[in-house]
Chains A and B, each alone.
Chain A
Amino acid sequence: AQSVSQHNHHVILSEAASLELGCNYSYGGTVNLFWYVQYPGQHLQLLLKYFSGDPLVKGIKGFEAEFIKSKFSFNLRKPSVQWSDTAEYFCAVPVSGNTGKLIFGQGTTLQVKP
């Protein structure tokens, strides 16, 4: 069965530090990958997505993610975090053979210290 694993559950960084959040998925045919973000008190929103083409995907607020097929990974990165990036981050993949359902990882809570 399709699965998604996020390695880091709680990350604490100082402002201006670089960020990389891990996401690994189990292979299930065509790969589409998503990162969602939930800022404190706000609804989940799409950060970026990968469908095909360039494996380096750029999203909102300076985030990017790289799809590495050989490693089944889709890690989220940001060169320099800000206090406003404090949030919970979720990686997600569609259920194989079904374009509607998404499977989410456990989530990573990022705390950025000013």
Chain B
Amino acid sequence: DVKVTQSSRYLVKRTGEKVFLECVQDMDHENMFWYRQDPGLGLRLIYFSYDVKMKEKGDIPEGYSVSREKKERFSLILESASTNQTSMYLCASESPGQGPNGYTFGSGTRLTVV
């Protein structure tokens, strides 16, 4: 069964800490995405990547950065965590070339910044 794996299910970090959220997919997908999910706001795109070492900003990139050194791994970095970054973070991957196939999502990381 194909998978998108997020390294942590729950995280609690302090304000000002640098936070790394890891995502690994085993489907050889080119496209990977990071979203945050907040009640009443749905999913909002933070960053995405179409290839290794390639990244593009989504709708809410402020306060975040990403890294994609290998095809299967896409990391989200909170440079200096703040309380308004408390949220559920979802990673997804997708294979292009056949039209939008829909995403495969990870289980999510619920981050609390205190």
Contact = CB atoms under 8 A, between A and B. Distances in A.
B41 A46 contact: no
B19 to A, nearest CB: 21
A105 B92 CA distance: 17
A68 interface: no
B102 A43 contact: no
Given A34-B102, A51-B99, A99-B100, A90 B58 contact: no
B37 to A, nearest CB: 8
The bracket for how many chain A residues form the interface is 20 to 34
Contacts of A44: 90, 92, 103, 105
A82 interface: no
Contacts of B33: 100-102
Given A9-B40, A101-B48, A106-B42, A42 B100 contact: no
Contact of A104 (B42, B94, B101, B108): B42
Contacts of B50: 100
Contacts of B107: 42-43
Given A32-B100, A101-B33, A101-B48, A106 B108 contact: no
B45 interface: yes
11 contacts: A6-B42, A36-B105, A49-B101, A90-B43, A100-B31, A100-B48, A101-B45, A103-B45, A106-B40, A107-B42, A107-B43
